Structure 1
Amino acid sequence: MIFYTVFTVAIVAAYAYLILFNLQHWTSSKQALIQTNIEKSPFFSILIPVRNEAENITKCLDSILVNKDVDFINFEIIVINDNSTDQTPSILKSFISKGIKVLSLNKGVAKSHKKAALNLGLSKANGNYIIQLDGDVIVPQNYLSTIEQYVKKFSPDFLAAPIKISNSQTLLGNFQILDCAGMMMVTQAGIKSKQWYMANGANMVYKKSDYAYDESGKASGDDINNIQSVASNPESRIAFLKDINATVQTNAEKKWSALYHQRIRWGTKNRGMKNPKMIIMMLIPFINALLILAHPILAILFFGKVAWVLLAIHLFIKSTVDYIYLKEATAFFKNEASMRFFINSAVLHVVYISLIGLGSLFFKKYKWKGRIVE
Structure 2
Amino acid sequence: MIYIALFITIIYLILIGLFIWGHDKINTFHLPDIEPKTSFTVVIPFRNEANNLPYLLQSIKALAYPNHLFEIIFVDDDSTDASVKIIEEYLNNCYNISIIKNKRISKSPKKDAITTAIEASKHDWIITTDADCTIPKYWLNSFDTFIQDTKSKCIVAPVKLVLGRTFLNQFQVLDMLSLQGATLGGFGIEKPFLCNGANLGYEKTLFYELHGFEGNTHIASGDDIFFLEKALKHSPKKVNYLKCEEAVVTTLSEISWKSYIEQRIRWGSKTRHYRNSFAKLTGLLVFLMNIVIPSLLILSLAGYLSFKPLLYLIIIKFSIDLCLIYKTASFFDQKDCLKNYFISFIIYPFISTYIVFSALFRPYKWKDRTFKT
1:367 to 353, 365, 368: 365
Q: CA deviation at 1:10?
A: 0.8
The answer to whether the Cα contact below 8 Å between 2:19 and 2:189 also exists between their aligned partners in 1 is: no
2:257 counterpart of 1:256: yes
1:83 is displaced (CA, Å) by 0.6
Decide which moves more: 240-249 or 89-98: 89-98
Q: Which runs of 5+ in 2 are unaligned?
A: none
CA distance in 1, matches of 2:235, 2:37: 26
What's the counterpart of residue 71 of structure 2? 76
| Alignment partner of 1:318 is 2:327 | no
Query: Equivalent residue for 1:35?
Result: none
- 1:193 Cα deviation from its structure 2 partner: 2.3
Change (3 A) 1:209 1:373: same
* CA-to-aligned-CA distance 1:24-58 (integer Å, 9 cap, x gap): 111124599xxxxx988121000001111111112
Q: Any conservation in 2 of the 1:39–1:152 contact (CA below 8 Å)?
A: no
For residue 119 of structure 1, report the CA deviation from its aligned partner: 1.0
SS at match of 1:95: helix
Correspondence for 2:275: 274
Letter in 1 for 2:70: F
Check 1:262–1:194 CA distance in 2 against 1; reply closer, same or farther (3 A cut).
same
Pairing 1:101-250 to 2, within 5 Å after superposition: 101-106=98-103, 109-211=105-207, 212=210, 213-215=212-214, 216-234=217-235, 236-250=237-251
Q: Residues 90-134 of structure 1, C-alpha deviation per residue, up to 9 Å, x if partnerless?
A: 11211222221100125x654311111111100001111111111
Aligned to 1:222, the other structure's residue is in SS state: coil
> Which aligned segments of 4 or more residues in structure 1 are displaced greater than 4 angstroms?
29-32
Q: CA deviation at 1:166?
A: 0.6
Unpaired segments of 5 or more residues in structure 1?
A: 33-37
Following TM superposition, by how much is the alpha carbon of 1:303 offset from its aligned partner in structure 2, in angstroms? 2.3
Amino-acid identity (%): 27
CA distance in 2, matches of 1:31, 1:320: 25
TM-score (norm 2): 0.92
The answer for the alignment partner of 1:344 in structure 2 is 343
CA distance in 2 between counterparts of 1:191 and 1:52 reads 34
User: 2:181, 2:36 → 1: CA distance?
Assistant: 32
Q: 1:353 aligns to what?
A: 352
Q: 1:8, 1:310 within 8 Å by CA — same for their partners in 2?
A: no
How far did residue 360 of structure 1 move? 2.1
The 3-state SS of whatever aligns with 2:283 is: helix
**Structure 2 CA distance for aligned equivalents of residues 220 and 323 of structure 1:** 29
Structure 1 residues 64-88: Cα deviation after superposition (integer angstroms, max 9, x where no partner): 2211xx2326111100011112111
Counterpart of 1:28 in structure 2 is: 25
RMSD: 1.9
Q: Distance in 1 between matches of 2:353 and 2:197?
A: 24
What SS does the aligned partner of 2:194 have?
coil
Indicate how the Cα distance of structure 1 residues 235 and 143 shifts in structure 2: closer, same or farther if over 3 A, else same.
closer
Q: 2:87 aligned with 1:86, yes or no? A: no
- From the superposition, tell whether residues 235 and 329 of structure 1 become closer, same or farther in structure 2 (CA, over 3 Å): closer
Distance 1:339 1:40, change over 3 A: closer
Deviation at 1:218, TM superposition (A): 2.3
Distance 1:39 1:236 in 2: 25
Distance 1:275 1:369 in 2: 28
What CA distance in whole angstroms lies between the structure 2 residues aligned with 1:25 and 1:76?
35
Which aligned pairs between 1:1-40 and structure 2 lie closer than 5 A?
4-29=1-26
- Aligned letter for 1:166? V
Counterpart-to-counterpart distance in 2, 1:30 and 1:165? 22
- SS of the residue 2:73 aligns to: strand
2:222/2:270 contact within 8 Å kept: yes
Once residues 192 and 84 of structure 1 are traced to their aligned partners in structure 2, the CA distance between those partners, rounded to angstroms, is 40
